[in-house]
Chain A
């Protein structure tokens, strides 16, 4: 089992009247009213410190991601973060999990091949290469990609990056969206034939097919927790069976919000307001923006509407504002409580979803630096050791983890 710490790098001090006063946390939040660059610099540095603290305390990997014009996460180039993290953890057996550079909106996409190869070199072969297609907000609204082109651009960028890493010959790329006359990137990655590739998704059949075709890792990155993730992951494993893929749990990844305190009561006291902040302010986005017309391919659109799931997901999100702390915890949207509570729930979720690569979000919304570090320390001391060997008795190899780090981490 590999457990990584995920960070969004949120604005931690949005005002109390944020949701009433502003239309969205994403695309349109006014910087000059809401942010001070020196304070934001502090947030970036806390983000580094929290991830490095997690790495030192025992996490197997540390993750950053990419969003644009987004007050709940603004690492517009996650590889700037990854570069610092790679350098700072060179003494540790920790993967640098980039979840990651958004393929359709990074132009030209060959830059991702270069930057990821740099990270693999700097980290000594510890890179996990996340390849997200990007959200509607980022790719369509902020970066101007037509929604219907997003997936096609994604496939082309993926094929180009994989070829650019591996080709022994200089080649020309005459694609639909990219024309590069002489591809010969410097550097190339250490990992051979290339760093493991993780594909984030939310349950669309086309993403599963793509993942299966290339034998990449599939990971579900939602903030809806393990209970709601169960339907998607069951679907994924059924799909894997139909495709004749083995049930190696390391094929799959999952992101989960986790808060740990000494007791369940203490957890509620310490984390309640930050969970409230996250689901009220950080998820404050007009509903149509989550999936603009054309963002999904036709089959995914038709499946979602005909099954009623598209509407149901929007209803769930619209309902978050009515949830109490107890609702979030009972529904495992946030797994929070004492180390024993969190451990029992996480072990259950990991087995239930058949997940070999878990990503834990520990800094949530407005959570301050010291509280975040305390929660990380408790998780690493009292929860993480109980997760490490969950799949050991089945004997699978984690092909989707840097080869030099596949053994159990010594802390």
Chain B
């Protein structure tokens, strides 16, 4: 299955545009992607079985529109932009799911606009900082190093499928450009340390929250899961074995039903 529709939205007083992949059926769900970019993967398929999934590209990373990030200067601008994207899509209160950088932005949205977010699911979210904990900046790593930190089994089929580049060299070049550019744009909102003040705002989150982490995450210490659980009033943390930074694909068998159960209960 894939998304059914691509919708264009214009926000930020006409200064920013993006595309939103839309698919599925049911109540609305906003999905915010990680720094490597937006891919409609089996996890989004699973969400689309019980929700209508709206997955916007981070503005400035939709195909053919690399300048649309320019008027959005920092994380608070971007939070407002995501709120405006929800309005442009006609969404009221919505479930929000975010992965890594998208998890930080999902939490920011829930902290800034508590009534916007009915339920919150974050997968290995960045956004909190504790200097005693290990973290590794993915932008500094060669691809094999990155794979070893992101996947519990970097040689396994899940990792290989996620890391596969198109066989056609031109398509591979475009994929490489898109990935680098998305990382570049996302960097504006978290560089150089992924602490943009979320710890000051996180107490405002009222949505029931589920934080899922892979026990072997080599980028960001899974111990942060407990921080989110402590700082958000109604939050459950799940740290899964045999998974690292992409638990929704690495442990799809567990995460898909866990998220479905959380969102539909």
**Residues of A participating in the B interface, judged by any CB pair closer than 8 Å:** 140-141, 144-149, 176, 286-289, 292-295, 298, 301-302, 305-306
Neighbouring B residues of A288 by C-beta, 8 Å: 139-142
Cα distance A149–B180 in the bound complex, in angstroms: 15
Neighbouring B residues of A293 by C-beta, 8 Å: 139, 179-184, 187
Task: Tell whether B154 is near chain A: CB-to-CB under 8 Å.
Answer: no
Would you call A147 and B177 a contact (CB within 8 A)? Answer: no
Cα distance A340–B230 in the bound complex, in angstroms: 74
Would you call A144 and B139 a contact (CB within 8 A)? Answer: no
Would you call B188 and A302 a contact (CB within 8 A)? Answer: no
Ranked nearest first, the 5 interchain pairs of A and B with the lowest CB-CB distance are A294-B184, A293-B183, A146-B191, A298-B66, A144-B192
Kindly report which residue of chain A lies nearest to residue B192, judged by CB atoms. Answer: A144
Would you call B188 and A148 a contact (CB within 8 A)? Answer: yes
Task: Tell whether B168 is near chain A: CB-to-CB under 8 Å.
Answer: no
Neighbouring B residues of A146 by C-beta, 8 Å: 187-188, 191-192
Would you call A301 and B181 a contact (CB within 8 A)? Answer: yes
Neighbouring B residues of A176 by C-beta, 8 Å: 73
Neighbouring B residues of A301 by C-beta, 8 Å: 177, 180-181, 184
Neighbouring A residues of B173 by C-beta, 8 Å: 305-306
Given A288-B139, A298-B67, 13 more pairs with CB closer than 8 A? A144-B191, A144-B192, A145-B191, A145-B192, A148-B184, A148-B188, A149-B188, A286-B142, A289-B140, A293-B180, A293-B183, A294-B184, A305-B173
Cα distance A293–B187 in the bound complex, in angstroms: 8
From A147, A286, A287, A305, contact of B191 by CB (8 A)? A147
From B67, B69, B139, contact of A292 by CB (8 A)? B139
Cα distance A141–B185 in the bound complex, in angstroms: 16
Task: Tell whether B176 is near chain A: CB-to-CB under 8 Å.
Answer: yes
Neighbouring A residues of B66 by C-beta, 8 Å: 298
Neighbouring A residues of B140 by C-beta, 8 Å: 141, 286, 288-289, 292
Neighbouring A residues of B193 by C-beta, 8 Å: 144
Cα distance A145–B188 in the bound complex, in angstroms: 9
Neighbouring A residues of B183 by C-beta, 8 Å: 293-294
Known: A146-B192, A302-B177. A287 touches B142 (CB 8 A): yes
Neighbouring A residues of B73 by C-beta, 8 Å: 176
Q: List 30 A-B contacts (CB under 8 A).
A: A140-B192, A141-B192, A145-B191, A147-B139, A147-B184, A148-B184, A148-B187, A288-B139, A288-B140, A292-B140, A292-B184, A293-B139, A293-B180, A293-B181, A293-B182, A293-B183, A293-B184, A294-B180, A294-B181, A294-B183, A294-B185, A294-B187, A294-B188, A295-B184, A298-B67, A298-B181, A301-B177, A301-B180, A305-B180, A306-B177
Known: A140-B191, A286-B140, A292-B139. A148 touches B185 (CB 8 A): yes
Cα distance A302–B66 in the bound complex, in angstroms: 11
Kindly report which residue of chain B lies nearest to residue A298, judged by CB atoms. Answer: B66
Interface size for B (C-beta < 8 A) is: 23
**Residues of B participating in the A interface, judged by any CB pair closer than 8 Å:** 66-67, 69, 73, 139-142, 173, 176-177, 179-185, 187-188, 191-193
A72 to chain B, nearest CB (A): 19
Cα distance A301–B192 in the bound complex, in angstroms: 21
Kindly report which residue of chain A lies nearest to residue B36, judged by CB atoms. Answer: A293
A135 to chain B, nearest CB (A): 14
Cα distance A287–B184 in the bound complex, in angstroms: 17
B245 to chain A, nearest CB (A): 17
A40 to chain B, nearest CB (A): 27
Would you call B185 and A305 a contact (CB within 8 A)? Answer: no
B212 to chain A, nearest CB (A): 26
Neighbouring A residues of B187 by C-beta, 8 Å: 146-148, 292-294
B242 to chain A, nearest CB (A): 28
Kindly report which residue of chain B lies nearest to residue A295, judged by CB atoms. Answer: B184
Neighbouring B residues of A305 by C-beta, 8 Å: 173, 176-177, 180
A21 to chain B, nearest CB (A): 18
A300 to chain B, nearest CB (A): 11
Cα distance A149–B187 in the bound complex, in angstroms: 9
Neighbouring B residues of A148 by C-beta, 8 Å: 69, 184-185, 187-188
Neighbouring B residues of A306 by C-beta, 8 Å: 173, 177
B146 to chain A, nearest CB (A): 9
Neighbouring A residues of B179 by C-beta, 8 Å: 293
A147 to chain B, nearest CB (A): 6
Neighbouring A residues of B182 by C-beta, 8 Å: 293
A208 to chain B, nearest CB (A): 19
Neighbouring A residues of B180 by C-beta, 8 Å: 293-294, 301, 305
Neighbouring B residues of A298 by C-beta, 8 Å: 66-67, 181
Cα distance A141–B73 in the bound complex, in angstroms: 20
Cα distance A295–B139 in the bound complex, in angstroms: 11
B17 to chain A, nearest CB (A): 15
Kindly report which residue of chain B lies nearest to residue A27, judged by CB atoms. Answer: B140
Neighbouring A residues of B67 by C-beta, 8 Å: 298
Neighbouring B residues of A287 by C-beta, 8 Å: 142
Cα distance A302–B170 in the bound complex, in angstroms: 12
A206 to chain B, nearest CB (A): 13
Neighbouring B residues of A141 by C-beta, 8 Å: 140, 192
Cα distance A298–B185 in the bound complex, in angstroms: 10
A392 to chain B, nearest CB (A): 46
- Give the one of A144, A287, A293 with max B CB within 10 A: A293
Kindly report which residue of chain A lies nearest to residue B182, judged by CB atoms. Answer: A293
Cα distance A147–B185 in the bound complex, in angstroms: 9
B83 to chain A, nearest CB (A): 23
- Give the one of A140, A294, A302 with max B CB within 10 A: A294
Cα distance A295–B141 in the bound complex, in angstroms: 15
Neighbouring B residues of A149 by C-beta, 8 Å: 188
Cα distance A144–B139 in the bound complex, in angstroms: 13
- Give the one of B73, B141, B180, B185 with max A CB within 10 A: B180
Cα distance A141–B142 in the bound complex, in angstroms: 16
- Give the one of B177, B183, B193 with max A CB within 10 A: B177
B177 to chain A, nearest CB (A): 5
Cα distance A140–B73 in the bound complex, in angstroms: 17
Cα distance A149–B185 in the bound complex, in angstroms: 9
